[in-house]
Amino acid sequence: MQTIVEIQQGPIQGFTDDGIHKFFGIPYAAPPVGALRWRPPQPIPHWTQLRQTTEFGPICPQTAGAVFKTRASRQDEDCLYLNVWTATVDPQAKQPVMVWIHGGGYLGGGGCEDGTDGSALAALGVTVVSFNYRLGAFGYLAHPDLGSNFGLQDQIAALHWVQQNITQFGGDPDRVTVFGQSAGAHSVRTLLSSPSAAGRFHRAILQSGGGERFSFDAKKPSERTYAASKAFVAHLGGGGPQQLRQVPTEKVKQASHLFSGVIPKRGRVHTPANLAWMPVNDGEIVPADAGNRPLAAVPLLLGYTHNEARYFIKPGMLPYNRLLLWALTRALAGPEARAVRAELSRNAGSMYDKFDRAYTSAVFAEPLLATTERLLSTSHEFYCYRFDRVSPGAGRSDFRAQHTAELRYLFGTLTTEGYDDVDRQVSARMQAHWVAFARNGAPTEDGSWPRYDDLARIAVIADTLGQGRIDDDPIAPLVHARRATAR
């Protein structure tokens, strides 16, 4: 069945499937091509003819990073499109709105991945929005003559579109939740510090990313991105803005990958800290002192998965031996490396388990721990979780609760293979918590999931929802102690 909605830019026609109205490929900004490459997103021209929005728009050119299968027909610099799922198009419905920011290391992915389809969440009474934004050097080149933070500005433009139009999709523009995972969570963290995003959302969820800076990263904020940008421009001939905007898309894409930081140095293990293309503290979109400023005063839900590392360092991918563990712990814990290795030796498990514990703790748990301290100091209202559920398929593969493991549970897109009835129960409960947070600013109405406080209470999402502690993993406090000493 067809569904027609009038938005500010003109009339659009989506379709209805199993009670959910779906609108795919709605442009939210002008195509950033030609003279608009490496410029802030521009308003989309109005149209008067009925526009079909039944197919996903193109995604930004990319070489890697997508978590799930993307359903876009092609890649193109003309990529600024969004999608809406809703059970009602009644402007009086005033449903909470959930705006998904996809991950992918700022290098890949899109708002059209099959694992993050919004249908199941929409069936629970929320209006769901996802969108594409510029990636890699297309979105995060930082150049004195061109500017920076283009992908972040795309995200802000998408939130502006939501404020303008979401009422027509049954949504409440005064009850918008931004939620994202990995680079999407890092994006949410940056939006919480951006004056340009102020007032455009009212709650925020950060999944597996978006904590404080890594304690082991000695580089100055934004230094890696500026260095990659300089090398990128030199690689493309070192021309001015006009010449750079004429470089073919494919050459930009390949150079973007070359300087992305995804290829680790010899003898090193790749971590998200190596990535080059990401928002910078430009003093305009992101304040120069953003790392020291209080976050926007909105309710927060933040957490990570128990085995994040297994997405990056996969079972059997490397020779997980003592020599490599020595190198890894030295890179992640610096002067605390010996203490970390001693703690690891006291815990049962394989050598691979020790890699997982050290990597997950330093890259995900410890930055989150530092964030909780920041938030407690400002009396911020927030909740924390750790996702521990291991599906039968993840148990067999030894990926366990790896980075991204929670996404199919959250979006209700569990496949028939690898998951069982317990997984479906966990999925339903997780969706209910996220929707409750979008509706009321708290993941439960009965208080069974307490706010995070000085007791460091955290909800553990496993077979049942229980209470644990954010510092269950002994490595996180060790790395955190080094952060405290360095201040």
SS3 of the chain: the string is CEEEEEECCEEEEEEEECCEEEEEEEECCCCCCHHHCCCCCCCCCCCCCCEECECCCCECCCCCCCCCCECCCCECCCCCEEEEEECCCCCCCCEEEEEEECCCCCCCCCCCEHHHCCHHHHCCCCEEEEECCCCHHHHHCCECCCECCHHHHHHHHHHHHHHHHHHHHCEEEEEEEEEEECHHHHHHHHHCCCHHHCCCCCEEEEECCCCCCCCCCCCCCCHHHHHHHHHHHHHCCCCCHHHHCCCCHHHHHHHHHHCCCCCCCCCCCCCHHHCCCCCCCCCCCCCCCHHHCCCCCCCEEEEEECEHHHHCCCCCCCCCCHHHHHHHHHHHHHHHHHHHHHHHHCCCCCHHHHHHHHHHHHHHHHHHHHHHHHHHHCCCCEEEEEECCCCHHHHHHCCCCECCCCHHHHHCCCCCCCCCHHHHHHHHHHHHHHHHHHHHCCCCCCCCCCCCCCCCEEEEECCCEEEEECCCCCHHHHHHHHHHHHC
219 has pLDDT over 90:
no
Q: What is the mean pLDDT of the chain?
A: 93
38 has pLDDT over 70:
yes
Query: Quick one: which of 302, 306, 270 has its CA closest to 395?
Result: 306
Active site residue 403: yes
Total-model pTM: 0.96
| pLDDT tens, position by position, 413-470 | 999 999 999 999 999 999 999 999 999 999 997 878 889 987 777 899 998 777 776 6
Q: What is the percentage of the chain residues whose pLDDT exceeds 70?
A: 96
Looking at the chain, how many residues does it have? 487
Active site residue 186: no
> Which among 403, 406, 427, 480 is annotated as catalytic?
403
As given in the structure block, the two tokens for residue 244 are 């750079």
487 has pLDDT over 60:
no
Query: What pLDDT shows up at residue 334?
Result: 85
Query: What pLDDT shows up at residue 475?
Result: 74
- C-alpha of 267 from chain center: 28
Query: What pLDDT shows up at residue 304?
Result: 96
> Which among 119, 148, 182, 194 is annotated as catalytic?
182
Domains and CATH numbers, the chain: 299-486 (3.40.50.1820)
| pLDDT tens, position by position, 40-58 | 999 999 999 999 999 999 9
| pLDDT tens, position by position, 190-210 | 999 999 999 999 999 999 998
Give 485's pLDDT tier (boundaries 50, 70, 90): low
Average the pLDDT over 297-318 and give the result.
95
> Which among 77, 212, 308, 336 is annotated as catalytic?
308
| pLDDT tens, position by position, 73-105 | 999 999 999 999 999 999 999 999 999 999 999
Task: Say how far apart CA 177 and CA 87 lie, in whole Å.
Answer: 18
Query: Quick one: which of 419, 446, 423, 414 has its CA closest to 433?
Result: 446
480 has pLDDT over 90:
no
Give 30's pLDDT tier (boundaries 50, 70, 90): very high
Average the pLDDT over 397-403 and give the result.
97
Query: What pLDDT shows up at residue 484?
Result: 60
Average the pLDDT over 163-177 and give the result.
98
Active site residue 433: no
Query: What pLDDT shows up at residue 221?
Result: 84
- 169 phi and psi, to 5 degrees? -115, 25
As given in the structure block, the two tokens for residue 308 are 């994040």
Query: What pLDDT shows up at residue 46?
Result: 96
Average the pLDDT over 265-277 and give the result.
82
β-partners of residue 17 are 20
